Homo-oligomer: A and B are copies of this chain.
């Protein structure tokens, strides 16, 4: 099939996946857990926490759980995890504090500079399954210069539900083709493409840590493929 070349000017809004695409959840959680609980395999702890994420959202989307914020899903997963990693003794306050590590994730080194460049030409927003409070705390701490914090919480549906991708176009009164999803995950980008959004893949080979390198080779279907957000800015003429 012949594909029309992508025109940067046809897009007005760039919507960003957050966990893994803009911030380094694995490295950030590993560092914090290592510092607090040196007896724990902190890298494995981070991976296990994240592994519980999709099944937990699935329980919401299937109707087994009512609408639940990611903060609360993270907490449900954490409660199970602590027993597994010998941390059952943690108090409620310590659990609450640890759970908020997702509000304190560090940006990848290129994120702030790349987003700042992209913001000069486009409206940039988050489009994450994370809740609004989490995303706002994270942006304030890491200096992520969003024009707008959009979240599954606004649409009451989790990606890859079409309501989320269509929702961002609707919020800005645009055709879906005037929105581009930027993400490091092919399933997310596929979901967006199915709704008519443009897509850009960002390589984040270290998303799951150096011991579990991710295959970041280009896949067909995306309009753009970039090593990081500065490279994306370059490709979009910012």
CB pair B147 A123 closer than 8 Å: no
Residue A9, interface by CB 8 Å: no
Which of B133, B139, B149, B173 is the one whose CB lies under 8 Å from A173? B133
Max chain B C-beta neighbours (<10 A), residue from A136, A137, A140, A150: A136
CB pair A136 B140 closer than 8 Å: no
Known: A132-B150, A132-B154. 11 other contacts (CB 8 A): A71-B173, A123-B137, A133-B171, A133-B172, A133-B173, A135-B148, A136-B148, A139-B148, A147-B149, A148-B149, A149-B149
Do A172 and B136 form a contact, CB below 8 Å, given A149-B148, A154-B154?
yes
Q: How many residues of A contact B (CB 8 A)?
A: 20
In A98-126, which residues have CB < 8 Å from any B CB? 123, 125
Please, how many angstroms separate the alpha-carbon atoms of A154 and B71 in the complex? 18
16 residue pairs bridging A and B, Cβ less than 8 Å apart: A71-B173, A123-B136, A123-B140, A125-B136, A131-B171, A132-B148, A132-B171, A133-B172, A133-B173, A136-B147, A136-B148, A136-B172, A139-B148, A148-B149, A153-B171, A154-B154
CB-CB under 8 A from A148, the residues of chain B are 132, 135-136, 139, 149
Output the least CB separation between A16 and chain B (Å). Answer: 14
Please, how many angstroms separate the alpha-carbon atoms of A135 and B139 in the complex? 18
Which of B137, B147, B153, B172 is the one whose CB lies under 8 Å from A139? B147
Residue-wise interface mask of A (134-165) relative to B, using a CB-CB cutoff of 8 A (1 in contact, 0 not): 01110110000001111001100000000000
CB pair A147 B154 closer than 8 Å: no
Please, how many angstroms separate the alpha-carbon atoms of A140 and B123 in the complex? 8
CB-CB under 8 A from A71, the residues of chain B are 173
Please, how many angstroms separate the alpha-carbon atoms of A154 and B150 in the complex? 10
CB-CB under 8 A from A131, the residues of chain B are 171
CB-CB under 8 A from A136, the residues of chain B are 123, 125, 147-148, 172
